[in-house]
Amino acid sequence: METLNNLLQTLNNLFLIIAEAIRGLFADPHSVWANLTMDVINFIIVVVIVVLAALILILLERKIAGWTSQRTGPNRLGPRGWFQTIADALKLMGKEDVTPAGADKLIFKIAPMIIFCLPMMTLGVIPFGKGMAPLNLDLGIFYFVAISSISTLAFLMAGWGSNNKYSLLGAMRAVAQMVSYEIPLLFSLLGVVMITQSFNLGVIVEAQSRVPFIVLQPLAFVIFIIAGLAELNRAPFDLVEADQEVVAGPFTEYTGLRWGLFFLGEYGNMTAMAALAATVFLGGWQGPVFLPGYVWIFMKIGIVIFFMMWVRWTFPRIRIDHLMHLAWKVLLPLSILNIFLTGLGIYIYRLVMGG
Amino acid sequence: MFGKGLLKGLGITFKRMVGPNITEFYPEQKPTLPTRVRSSLALDRSKCISCNMCAMACPNKVIKLTSEKDENNKKVLKTYSMDVGRCLFCGMCTEACPTQAITVTQEYENSVYEPDELHWDMIARAERKGKEG
């Protein structure tokens, strides 16, 4: 029993032990160079997480689309089609890279890169285990939301740089939608911040050792998931891309790997949003059974992502005016009500506990 | 309750997700066709009396047959060709046939590389079929 406990403890702290070992290679384990090395390693790990997530999720999306409509999904390459992503990536790489005449070349080329960079920046503040946040920022949530809202700008850049009026219109629609949904998204997170009195994601996870905040803030969680789906431009809120209706909006002029970067970026952003949901509402690396913390958080991220895909292949696309009504007339008042109720709850709690 | 329909929809798709697939893995596993499928035609040469009724019944003039008379002054089938590119597989030739010489079969892998290959020589096909079977 004792040895088993020790083993689990070691597994739980595996990455911390490895990090300590690497720091130990330096004469002074907390010198600038040691810190720099650790930062570079952390960065590489986050990049690997984003790329792996994108590769796996593209296939998973197609598989789930298949299963939902009683098909098997891709089934040719590899065992039961699980290597299909390789073929997809090769196909995208083999395509001609077209930059339209009259396009604003710099903006046109930089937009997909920005989209793909954002999840790497946002995932950096997620604690993947006890003390395992690549960047331990005190303004974690604030940073996350601020960075992820840059994707709005990247969409506008893609639409503007394409020198195509339909792309520009698509980009305008994207901006209108994403700006609208950012407000309820932020307000839904405020309830949790009020309870924990901290923007630091590590502190928020620590505060969920007894109950995850989905129990205390169910309304906020629902608002967060809906607004998050809209923020990610995923069905049923994918009016921006809307494959069947408006030939992919701001991405109309993109080909090959540039278009692929938008695609990968979408899945990376999805991972980041799911990670935030898992951290803030589902208890992050804390779990009822003693498993290593990183296993818990990736399990929770997986569940949230599965839910997002499940929703995508269940609901029809929402209409544009309904989309705006939902954001401004339903979600925003509800999220403000949630903040009000949370404040009232905290006040009553203090009154009862005499704090 | 608001949102009941959404939950119901999620439930239905989840049931489909965990339920069995209806995909048929066609080239590896041959499908079991419904009994009424009409996808090919076959000729039994010995039964044919060269009455030409199948050619008359055909709405698209698919069937062309020639015959010659033997010593008993009976018609004997000489050639029997079908331009399957025009064939509807309506089966009216089989209904018209008084001796059940031409029948509908369920062979369905009929695709060919050249348009000329769509002119089926039914006698040769019947012989080949006999050899294979």
**CA-to-CA distance for A266 and A118, rounded, in angstroms?**
10
Considering only alpha carbons, which residue of chain A is nearest residue B9? A314
| Chain B: closest CA distance from residue A218 (Å) | 15
Contact call for residues A256 and A96 (beta carbons, < 8 A):
yes
CA B89 vs. chain centroid, Å, equals: 6
Stretch B89-98: mean pLDDT, rounded? Answer: 90
> What does the pLDDT read at residue B59?
92
Q: What is the CATH number of the domain that holds B54?
A: 3.30.70.3270
pLDDT of residue B10 exceeding 60, the answer is: yes
Q: How many domains does chain B have?
A: 1
Structural domain includes residue B23 = no
- Whose structure tokens read 């009396």? B49
Instruction: Count how many residues are written for chain A.
Output: 355
The reported pLDDT for the residue numbered B131 is 66
Answer whether residue B17 shows pLDDT above 70: yes
Say which of B6, B16, B25 has its CB closest to residue A70: B16
For residue B119, what is the enclosing H or E element?
A: strand B119-121
B99: tokens are 């001796």
Token pair listed for A334 = 């509800």
* Residue (of B119, B115, B61, B64) closest to B90 by Cα position: B61
Looking at chain B, which residue has its C-alpha nearest residue A70? Answer: B21
Note whether residue B25 is domain-resident.
Answer: no
Does residue B28 fall inside a structural domain?
A: no
- With a CB cutoff of 8 Å and minimum separation 6, the contacts of B116 are none
Q: CB distance B21–A71 less than 8 Å? A: yes
- Does residue B97 sit in helix, strand or coil? coil
B9 and A67 within 8 Å at the Cβ level: the answer is no
Please state, in angstroms and rounded to a whole number, the distance separating the CA atoms of residues A52 and A56: 6
Per-residue pLDDT tens over the stretch B99-129: 988 888 888 888 889 988 888 888 888 888 7
B21 neighbourhood in chain A, CB within 8 Å = 66-67, 70-72
Tokens at residue A285, please?
Answer: 């690396």
A329 in reach of chain B (CB within 8 A): no
Q: What is the DSSP string of A149-167?
A: THHHHHHHHHHHHTT-HHH
Q: Is residue B15 part of a domain?
A: no
d(CA A199, CA B115): 72
Range of the domain at B123: 33-132
Helix/strand number for chain A, H first, E second: 15, 0
| Neighboring chain A residues of B12 at a CB cutoff of 8 Å | 314
Q: CB-based burial of residue B43 (10 Å sphere; 0-12 exposed, 13-18 middle, 19+ buried)?
A: buried
Residue numbers of chain A with a pLDDT score lower than 70? 1, 355
Q: What is the Cα–Cα distance from B87 to A151, expressed in whole angstroms?
A: 57
pLDDT at B73 over 60: yes
Note the pLDDT of residue B96.
92
Residues 72..131 of A with a Cβ closer than 8 Å to B: which? 72, 75
Cβ-contact A109, A158 below 8 angstroms? no
State residue B132's pLDDT score: 59
- Number of Cβ atoms within 10 Å of the Cβ of A207: 19
Tokens of A176: 């209108």
Give the closest of A71, A75, A313 to B13, CB-based: A313
The answer to whether B91 touches B104, Cβ cutoff 8 Å, is: yes
Q: With an 8 Å Cβ cutoff, are B9 and A75 in contact?
A: no
Residue A97: what are its φ and ψ, rounded to 5°? Answer: -95, 100
Task: Characterize the bridge pairing of strands B63-69 and B102-105.
Answer: unpaired
Is the C-alpha dihedral spanning B37, B40, B41, B42 positive or negative?
negative
Please, are residues A196 and A204 in contact by the beta-carbon 8 Å criterion? Answer: yes
Secondary structure of residue A206 in the 3-state scheme? helix
B133 has pLDDT over 70: no
- Write out pLDDT tens, residues A11-45: 777 778 888 888 888 878 778 888 888 888 888 98
Query: Which chain A residues have a beta carbon less than 8 Å from that of B23?
Result: 70-72, 75
Contact: B17, A64; criterion CB under 8 Å: yes
Taking CB atoms and an 8 Å limit, are B6 and A315 in contact across chains? yes
User: What's the CA gap between A239 and A248, in Å, rounded?
Assistant: 9
- In a mutational test of the B interface, the residue from A62, A68, A80 whose CB has the highest number of chain B CBs within 10 Å is A68
Residue A334 burial (10 A CB sphere; 0-12, 13-18, 19+): middle
SS3 for B78? strand
Contacts of B33 (CB under 8 A, 6+ apart): B39, B106, B108
Look up tokens 């329909």; give the residue. Answer: B5
CA-to-CA dists, residue B16 to A67, A207, A304, A327, B24, angstroms: 7, 38, 19, 31, 16
The ranges assigned to domains in chain A are 98-353
pLDDT per position as a tens digit, A293-328: 788 888 899 999 999 999 988 888 888 888 888 888
Mean pLDDT of B71-85: 87
